[in-house]
Amino acid sequence: MIVDAHNHSHYNRVGPEKLVAEMDAFGIDVAWLLTWIHPPGEHVDTSHRAFNPTNLRSDGTHAGVVLADVVETCRRFPGRFVAGYCPCPTEGDPAALFESAYHIYGVRVCGEWSYRTLLDDPRAIELFRCAGRLGCPVVLHLDVPFLPDSQGAPIYQTHWYGGGAGPLERALATCPDTVFIGHAPGFWRYLSGDEQTESAVYPQGPIQPGGKLLDLLERFPNLWADLSAGSGLNTLQRDPVFGRQLLINYANRILYGRDDNGNRLQQFLYSLELPDGVLQKILAENALRLVPLPSA
């Protein structure tokens, strides 16, 4: 069995039917279907090309992938998807909204988090604690607020999400009963000890000692990771020996996910010749431990 623990409907011009056809072609039995909500003040110019055109607002901003997209796709293809939803932490009562979605729509994943709010903001903490109480993992898209230029000076990044390793560490400590699943460039960059001087969003070359992410993984059993999108694959490809050992060392807390079209990640995982038990944990068993599927 294969579980894609990170994907979206109505994304990259892929509607529900094409998404299911891709899953069938790649042997994927179930996918976690996550929202990717852009509040009006966090509009991304490229959203018009990537997302459902019906989610365009009257002010010209785009809402991204919303709960209605997830609900529609889940209803059309029962048994193929796990519903995910992450409300904006600065609008309304996010914890109450998430709990309502849990009961009304069967949401079982709080994700995808991708907001320009620090992870340890009190409003975010309330949402995370609610997800933990309900037994729902939280999927985090992280991008750092600053990247160094060639001289090491910090350059502000307009599209940052969640903050850096500090806010992540504080959220992990404050919400020990909540499982956090990190992903995206701002998460994986902390695997390497040179993150303070590395200016590339997708770094190349060997992983350097002293990465903060390894320390967090050691100290916080509620920190997991998914390999989805270009950032996860880039992390493995830039240093395959290190990446393979990382997958083995943390086999119980790493998830396979695509967050994309195509099948590059799955093909690369097979090329690493991982022990059978490790590969099956990553491809399915870990996701099923976090979110068991309903009995037939």
Q: What is the pLDDT of residue 215?
A: 97
Mean pLDDT lowest among 42-51, 66-75, 131-140: 42-51
Alpha carbon distance 170, 214 (integer Å): 16
Average pLDDT, the chain: 95
Note the pLDDT tens digit of each residue in 195-230: 988 999 999 999 999 999 999 999 999 999 999 999
For residue 239, name the pLDDT band (cuts at 50, 70, 90): very high
Q: Where are the alpha helices (DSSP H) in the chain?
A: 16-25, 47-50, 67-76, 94-105, 122-133, 165-174, 185-188, 212-219, 229-238, 240-249, 264-271, 276-280, 286-290
Mean pLDDT along residues 245-251: 98
Taking CA atoms, 4 is separated from 49, 88, 190, 215, 255, in Å, by 24, 24, 24, 27, 8
87-97 per-position pLDDT tens digit: 999 999 999 99
pTM of the model: 0.96
Work out the percent of the chain whose per-residue pLDDT is above 70.
99
DSSP state of 285: I
Query: What is the per-residue pLDDT for 49?
Result: 80
| CB distance 250 to 282 below 8 Å | no
- What's the pLDDT tens digit per position in 155-167? 999 999 999 999 9
6-27 pLDDT, tens digit each? 999 999 889 999 999 999 999 9
Q: What is the DSSP letter of 41?
A: G
pLDDT over 70 (residue 62): yes
What is the pLDDT at residue 47?
A: 73
Residue 296, pLDDT > 60, answer no
Mark 67-100 as b/e (b = at least 16 C-beta within 10 Å). Answer: bbbbbebbeebeebbbbbbbbbbeeeebbebbbe
Confidence grade of residue 44 (pLDDT, cut at 50, 70, 90): confident
Q: How confident is the model at residue 276 (pLDDT cuts 50, 70, 90)?
A: confident
3.30.70.980, 3.20.20.140, 1.10.10.1590, 3.40.50.920: which CATH number matches 3-290? 3.20.20.140
pLDDT band at 46 (very low <50, low <70, confident <90, very high): confident
pLDDT category of residue 77 using cuts at 50, 70 and 90: very high
| Model confidence pLDDT, tens digit, residues 98-148 | 999 999 999 999 999 999 999 999 999 999 999 999 999 999 999 999 999
